[in-house]
Structure 1
Amino acid sequence: MPLYEHVFIARQDVSGAQVDQMVEAFTGVVESGGGKVVGTESWGLRNLAYRIKKNRKGHYVMMNLDAPSDVVLELERQQRIHDDILRYLTVRVSEHEEGPSIIMQGRKERSSRRDDDDSGDVKPAASASEDKVPVAEAADAPAAPSAEETE
């Protein structure tokens, strides 16, 4: 059977539990047609590149499918009808990638960078000798000409 990566975006005001129920329902559609869902990843609530049906954010879910093409067509038909689905995309792949997707890898790298960041450290204060000008040097320095001297 052909392999597919299927991503759909659910509306922002749908709860995480409702998104999980959608995934279970769509998994049932695939399995009832003789296919199987190899894996699912929930990418969470993310910003959209542009507004879709007055939504600025959406719940992203990726499903790896091993199913015949007519099952994928039925899955897309179900999602087209569903009110809570903003967009979907199905791509045929030669093989499924092992491990987490690039989106999930990027999220882990960002969290590790946040942990390693030194921005919270306080820089040592400049030494007192650098900030202060010795009094003797200040007294010897020429003063700015007064208004009377310039006339």
Structure 2
Amino acid sequence: MPLYEHVFIMRQDLSNTQAEGLVEHFSAVLTDNGGSVSETEYWGVKTMAYKINKNRKGHYAYLRTDAPATAVQEMERLMRLHDDVMRILTIKVDAHEEGPSAQMQKREERRERR
């Protein structure tokens, strides 16, 4: 099955538990449709470069998945219909990187990678 990476932004007025609950909900949608989620990361509330729907900040989440295209399309369809999700980015990758994403690494570790 193809490998994907998903990043999505949720509204800033959600609590941390509600945002993590949404991440679990969308992970369950993928697994119910025949895919698997290899890793999830909740990046927390971050300031955005520009306002989206009158929001200056948002909860960011990241998923690494191995799922068929139909499962990804269904998850994206449900995300677009959900009022709390503001933006979605899905990228098809050849292989997942080992370890945490660049957002979760400390600055010192990022310098060592170069």
Q: TM-score normalized by structure 1?
A: 0.70
Q: Is the aligned partner of 1:16 residue 2:21? A: no
SS at match of 1:20: helix
Tell me the alpha carbon deviations over residues 46-99 of structure 1, each in whole angstroms, 9 at most, x when there is no partner: 011100000000000000010000100000000000000010100000011100
Matching of residues 127-146 of structure 1 within 5 Å: none
Aligned to 2:75: 75
- Helix, strand or coil at the partner of 1:21: helix
| Pairing 1:109–2:104 present | no
Q: Which residue of 2 aligns with 1:100?
A: 100
Q: Which is richer in strand?
A: 2
**For the pair shown, which has the larger CA radius of gyration, 1 or 2?**
1
Does structure 1 residue 47 correspond to structure 2 residue 47?
Answer: yes
Alignment correspondent of 2:111: none
Pairwise CA distance, 1:103: 1.2
* Counterparts of 1:5 and 1:50, CA distance in 2: 23
**3-state DSSP class of the match of 1:73?**
helix
What 5-or-longer segments of structure 2 have no aligned partner?
A: 109-114
Deviation of the 1:109 alpha carbon: 2.0
Q: In structure 1, how many angstroms separate the alpha carbons of the residues matched to 2:25 and 2:61? A: 13
Q: Which residue of 2 aligns with 1:6?
A: 6
| Larger helix proportion of the pair | 1
Report the number of matched residues. 108
Tell me, in whole angstroms, the C-alpha distance in 2 between the residues paired with 1:67 and 1:23.
Answer: 16
Contiguous gaps of at least 5 residues in structure 1: 111-151
Superposition RMSD on alpha carbons, in Å? Answer: 0.9
CA deviation profile, 1:92-114 (whole Å, cap 9, x unmatched): 00011100111111xx227xxxx
Matched, 1:65 2:65: yes
Report sequence identity in percent: 55
Cα offset for 1:33? Answer: 0.4
Aligned to 1:132: none
Larger relative contact order (CA 8 Å, sep ≥ 6):
2
